[in-house]
Amino acid sequence: MAELFINPARATDTDGNPLPGAKLYFYLTGTTTPTDVYTTNAMGTAHANPVVADSAGLFPSIYLNPAIDYRAVLKDASGATTVYDTDPVHKANEEVGTPEMFGCVAVEDGGGATDNTAAMEEALESGFRIEGRGKTYRVSALVVTAANVHADNLTLKEINPNTGDPVTVTFNAAVAGSGSLVLGRGFKVDRAGDGTAGTLNVSAGIKVSNFAVVQAECEVYGNAKGSGLLVEYARYFRDDSYIHDMFCSHSGVTDDIQHGSWARYCDNVVTGGLVRNLGSIDRTAAARDRYNRGRAYSGCRNVMLGGAVGPGVDQAYDVTGDAAGGNTCIKLNGAHASHPYSVGFKFANAVLGTTAACATVVSPGLCGAMVSGPTTELANMTQQAIISGIVQLGGGENGVWSDVCVVKLDRNDASAPGRGFPRGVTVTGNNFMPNTGADTFTVYDTDELTPGLAAALNIYTGARVRLTTTGTLPTGLATATDYFASLSEGSRIRLSSSYANAIDKVYISGYAGGSGTHTITVQNDVDWGVYSNVDVYDATQPNLVYGNRFGTLTHRNTTVQDLKATAARGAVQTIADVTTAYVTGTSETDSYGICNLTGGSGSSTIFTIPMDGVYTLVLSGLWSGGAGTGSAQCALQADSGGGFADIGSAAQVSAFTTANFTQSIHWTGYLTRNTVIRGRLYHNDGAPRDFTLRDFSVEYVPG
């Protein structure tokens, strides 16, 4: 087999300028004896010697006889000036090949109906670095098994995209756990379907298995279900892939059916690149961006997440364990999630050793980051996740979800109380920057508004705004109407009639006229800082939240380090005479000792201290009045291992009067980890008395 020397190459001078008509002479090494080079791999036809470049300085493909050592001399068109003289030249480019060397016919060369599958398999298994020169080759279900593969600048176009579960190209290591796969920049797969074929765990544009090293700078696009890029069992995986415009049918869909890229059971993963525009092939559908994950990770270890995902995705980054094991040692480092339909960064099913740092998320539909607990299969695993350094800009503008938040702690398995709830999670050092502000505006032109700049406006693409006026708004605009804003040049504002239109850059136009002073007011659609879908607490593996900059946002159902764990106002409780009762509320009983502090009727409400420190405890409520004698008491009690006893000053004692009266006790002091807190009620009036809980809270006092 001949060895490819140039495929083609451009002759340039020392400044990098093309040399039209340049001449490339070939001699036997160490001599001025001309020797043949060839036009094809078969060495049937020799080139003229010298080989002459075209008007752009490009040479045709040149093949060398592997039995000969050559001398190569490049001269300008006149033949008078030598650009370089290289001796010897032998096997100089022996690792470079073209698909045509193996019988492939590109679409650009008349191969629009050619099935190149077998020939391309041979090419990619040859050991050559396959250089496609930007051409397209039609293949289907191509399977490559080799020790090492390297391919650049070619497009593989799926022949049968709408049948079954197509995998356009599969790369298998010849020996599991060895070899390398390099899909260079310009390696592309066009899935080219109608979006009806494929399933999540089977179909893919590119599937890679068992290589020791995988480097992917590839591009995958075209309508289909399944994954754009699926890599499994790699020891080192560098993912700089570009996955985009991969739409599919949502008919009958109720769960995720697409991944942009998916890493399964890989070690040492570094992610860059971009994923955008997945979801429904019907781009007018309300849930067009749902049921997909931009980049997904299952059972991986040592993962550094960067790059960008979105817009046009549901869950931007999804780090989810499964029955075989959770992901471990995950770090966000410069990752960016843009306008995800639901979640920016999701950590689920026992993600261990997670550190989210230096990451941004713009306008998530539901939350910037979500942590959900272990599944039934992984019930004994601790998460030990630190959610820190995430900056969220806006959120909730798509109007799909309720309880929009910055960080969500989510129960993963509702059938097993407590089991599916995250444990050992710390949320700290995160920032929320809302869409806010109000300012006057005037019309700049038919589709842009100019703000008065008298007040600061925080507007991210898709921000929901409303307009008011002291007179009449310009033509095409109305009060009491939701618009979705985007910034243009010079701080000007463009409005869209829907959130989807704002993302797609479809703007309202035709502004004219109007009178009075007009005002644009940005609406905030984020409800909570940290939100938990249930109020639970694990004494041995507490979730701690502190040191976040969430502005005016409060938290929901979250037992946290710098916020109150509070039993809400409870129902009236009737307490018998000369009887000790306890502040009551609903509670859960399970193997983790998680207790609920939502108030109401039921068993005793207790709270377990998460760590040594200073805490403030408060108990207050309303006693019923009426005729009678005796007194009522309330107290706080703690159990550090020796049983419950009153803490702090003596219990508050109040004599009964004919009017209702409030009792409260407030204590601040040092408590050790796993100390259990409860409130105590007592009276000796001689008859039952009613008590209504107003507040039972435990608050950490930062040192």
What pLDDT, on the 0 to 100 scale, is given for residue 378?
Answer: 53
For tokens 């009522």, the residue is 632
What pLDDT is stored for residue 562 in this prediction?
44
- Read off the CATH number of the domain in which 586 is found: 2.60.120.1400
Mark whether 284 and 172 lie in a shared domain: yes
Provide mean pLDDT across the span 617-635: 82
What's the pLDDT at 102? 86
214 within domain boundaries: yes
> What is the arithmetic mean of pLDDT over 403-428?
74
Domain boundary among 78, 94, 110: 94
Residues β-bridged to residue 138: 157
- Name the band, by pLDDT with cuts 50, 70 and 90, for residue 421: confident
Residue 555 CB contacts under 8 Å (≥ 6 apart), including other chains: 528, 529, 530, 531, 545, 563
- Helix/strand/coil (H, E, C) string of 221-258? EEECCEEEEEEECCCEEEECCEEEEEEECCCCCCCCCE
Looking at per-residue pLDDT, the higher value among 66 and 406 belongs to 406
pLDDT score, position 185? 85
CATH of the domain at 69: 2.170.14.10
pLDDT in tens, 352-405: 666 666 799 999 999 999 988 766 555 555 566 788 889 999 999 999 999 999
How much is the pLDDT for 517? 95
Specify whether 682 is located in the same domain as 629. Answer: yes
Q: Does residue 505 belong to any structural domain of this protein?
A: yes
pLDDT (0 to 100) of residue 650: 58
pLDDT at 206 over 90: yes
Please tell me the predicted confidence (pLDDT) of residue 429.
Answer: 85
Name the most confidently modeled range: 238-247, 312-321, 357-366, 566-575.
Answer: 238-247
| Same domain (yes/no): 103, 121 | yes
The pLDDT of 681-691, averaged and rounded, is 84
| 241 lies in the same domain as 180 | yes
pLDDT in tens, 15-71: 667 889 999 999 999 999 999 999 887 788 999 999 999 988 888 888 888 788 899
Rg (CA), the chain: 34
Residue 89 pLDDT exceeds 90: no
* Nearby residues of 686 by Cβ (< 8 Å), 6 or more positions away: 577, 628, 629, 630
Query: What is the four-CA torsion angle of 688, 693, 694, 700, rounded to 10 degrees?
Result: 140
Which of the four pLDDT bands, split at 50, 70 and 90, describes residue 496? very high
Q: Which domain holds residue 445?
A: 439-522
Predicted local distance difference test score (pLDDT) of residue 181: 94
For 115-170, write each residue's pLDDT tens digit: 999 999 999 998 888 999 899 999 999 999 998 899 999 999 999 998 889 999 99
Residue 546: per-residue pLDDT: 74
Whole-number Å distance between alpha carbons of 277 and 442: 34
- Do 100 and 89 fall into the same domain? no
Task: Using the predicted structure, report yes or no on whether residue 288 has a pLDDT greater than 60.
Answer: yes
pLDDT tops 80 at residue 418: no
DSSP string, 166-190: -EEEEEEESSTTEEEEEE-TTEEEE
Percentage of the chain modeled with pLDDT above 90: 46
| pLDDT interval class at 571 (50, 70, 90) | low
Give yes or no: residues 191 and 290 share one domain: yes
pLDDT mean over 601-605: 50
Contact predicate 5/96, CB 8 Å: no
Question: What integer best gives the mean pLDDT of the chain?
Answer: 84
Residue range 611-615: mean pLDDT, rounded:
77
Residue 322 lies in a domain: no
628 and 685 both lie in a single domain: yes
At residue 230 the predicted structure's pLDDT band, cuts being 50, 70 and 90, is very high
Give the C-alpha separation, 584 to 145, whole Å.
66
Q: What is the DSSP letter of 101?
A: G
**For the segment 173-183, what is each residue's pLDDT rounded down to a tens digit?**
989 888 999 99
Query: Does one domain contain both 60 and 162?
Result: no
pLDDT digits (tens, 9 = 90+) for 629-685: 788 888 888 888 888 888 876 567 888 888 888 888 888 888 887 788 888 888 888
Tell me what pLDDT residue 224 has: 92
Please say if the pLDDT value at position 323 is more than 70: no
For the chain, what is the domain count? Answer: 4
Q: What is the pLDDT of residue 93?
A: 44
Q: Who wins on pLDDT, 498 or 651? A: 498
Among 470, 494, 522, where does a domain finish?
522
Q: Are residues 57 and 123 in the same domain?
A: no
pLDDT of residue 328: 76
In a domain, 534, yes or no: no
pLDDT exceeds cutoff 80 at 242: yes
Question: Given this model, what pLDDT does residue 127 score?
Answer: 82
Name which residue leads in pLDDT, 532 or 465.
465
Is 334 contained in some domain? Answer: no
What is the model's pLDDT at position 77?
Answer: 93
State pLDDT tens for residues 430-457.
999 988 889 999 999 999 999 987 677 8
Question: Per the domain annotation, does 1 fall within a domain?
Answer: yes
Nearest to 621 by CA among 669, 683, 690, 667: 690
Residue 157 within a domain: yes
Between 286 and 652, the higher pLDDT residue: 286
Whether 570 and 452 share a structural domain: no
Q: Are residues 29 and 71 in the same domain?
A: yes
Lowest mean pLDDT among 11-15, 137-141, 250-254, 458-462: 11-15
Q: Are 206 and 132 contained in the same domain?
A: yes
- What is the per-residue pLDDT for 587? 39
Q: Among the three residues 298, 318, 339, which one is the final residue of a domain in this structure?
A: 298
The pLDDT of residue 561 is: 43
Mean pLDDT of 202-224: 95
Domain-located, residue 427: no
DSSP string, 519-577: EEEEPP---EEEEESS----SSS--EEES-B-TT-EEES---SSS-EEEPPPPEEEE-T
Mean pLDDT of 68-89: 88
Mean pLDDT of 79-94: 74
